[in-house]
Amino acid sequence: LGVLGAGVAVATAGTPVWAQRNDGPEEGNFPKVRIGSNECWTGPFPVAQAAAAKIVSHANFYHPGTEVTDFKKTLATIEGVPVDHVLPWPGSSDPLSRIVVAFCSPQKGLVTADVSYEQPWGTAEWAGAKVTKVPLTPDYRHDVKAMLAANPDAGLYYICSPNNPTGTLTPVADIEWLVANKPAGSIVLVDEAYLHFSHGQSAAPLVAQGKDVIVLRTFSKLFGMAGMRLGATIARPDLHGRMMRYDGKRMSTNLPLPSVVCGTVALTQKALIEQRRAEMIAARDFTFAHLTKRGVKFIPSDANMFMVDWGKPAAGVQAQFLAAGVGIGRNWAPWPTMSRVTVGSMADMQAFCAALDKIMV
Ligand code: PMP
């Protein structure tokens, strides 16, 4: 890594993807305003925190009670799937890697959009599987027809909706088309990490219909639980079985119990979920209005992140923001003039806009 100013790491050619972040604690770099990692600007709902705190005193047991089953039942009811179609995980990165390893091989590769979340293709490359990256459409959406055409014999088709980093939604109708036309035995993985921030529909009904679909969820985003590590998969039990081939049922005891309890309570807070989504949308609208006023281009987004195009190398602009105490994250190949910015609280976005005004004078 080359270093620009105080703690600003700039990715250089050949730097592994995991080392390209410049906004995280790995670099000992905590800006005052942290809007670079797609986290939530606030913690779990207080009622969920209280439930998590209560269970800690019983955490000498792997299963003090029915916590894991309660989680499964709660999510299954919300999504309209049988209880045995839901599994909790310690975060969603863990099941994501397992899915790639379970369903991809040198013969049966991974198809992903370009640009999209990098963990699936990073894991696939690491596991020696073939990776096919298919450009997004000119309006930055997944092109499901091109994804199938690019590798009609893949093991896994990865759809991130809303997409990280563009924030664009893939309509469920497009996912349905892919599921109907994909090769037999392959899987469509729909990563819905950011779905709660949008008004988009889930692909979970396809799981209820018994299709070859895995829906991936995380509690790291709208639920504000990134540091608590909780995720979930919604899929047919036989697909779950393939993800757990080597550790089977042990997975259910490998979960942070307070996180499971916190997540269960959080899922039921419909009004609070809607309120948090509305707060994010208000902060995003405010930011977009400001960018428009300043003539700065951005990609309209359905999530708590957006790509902004500075029209000049983004790494330098990011360093200027960081010097102003605002960590806006990093740029994404192959877009050297764009940065991905997380939508934080209204106060965070006011700080972002104020820093932008200073930088752009
Ligand atoms: N999927 C997507 C699209 C993500 O952006 C992330 C992390 N930012 C993850 C999965 C993994 O998140 P976690 O392990 O915290 O659930």
Q: How far is the CA of 20 from the centre of ligand 1 (A)?
A: 16
Least confident of 5-14, 96-105, 321-330: 5-14
Query: What's the confidence (pLDDT) of residue 44?
Result: 98
Mean pLDDT of 230-251: 86
pLDDT per residue over 284-305, tens digit each? 999 999 999 999 999 999 999 9
Q: Bigger pLDDT: 15 or 61?
A: 61
Q: What is the mean pLDDT of residues 25-50?
A: 87
Q: Residue 120 belongs to what H/E stretch?
A: helix 119-126
Grade residue 22 by pLDDT with cuts at 50, 70 and 90.
Answer: very low
Token reading at 234: 């919604």
Query: Mind listing the pLDDT tens digit for each residue in 147-205?
Result: 999 999 999 999 999 999 999 999 999 999 999 999 999 999 999 999 999 999 999 99
Give the distance (Å) from ligand 1 centre to CA of residue 197: 14
ipTM: 0.99
- Residue 252's pLDDT is 65
CATH of domain 2-43+271-360: 3.90.1150.10
CATH topology classification for 47-269? Aspartate Aminotransferase; domain 2 (3.40.640)
Q: Which residues line ligand 1 (CB under 6 A)?
A: 38, 91-93, 96, 117, 160, 164, 191, 193, 218, 220, 226, 231
Distance between CA atoms of residues 11 and 319, nearest Å: 12
Contact 148, 131 (CB under 8 A): no
Name the more confident of 5 and 190. Answer: 190
Each domain of the chain, given as residue ranges in start order, spans 2-43+271-360, 47-269
**Range of lowest pLDDT (24-38, 192-206, 254-268):** 24-38
Q: Sign (positive/negative) of CA torsion 41, 89, 332, 172?
A: negative
- Fold identical between 2-43+271-360 and 47-269? no
CB 194 within 8 A of CB 221: yes
pLDDT above 90: residue 48: yes
Tens-place pLDDT, residues 92-128? 999 999 999 999 999 999 999 999 999 999 999 999 9
In this structure, the residue with its CA closest to atom 11 of ligand 1 is: 93
Mean pLDDT of the chain: 91
Kindly tell me the sign of the dihedral angle through the C-alpha atoms of 142, 147, 148, 153: negative
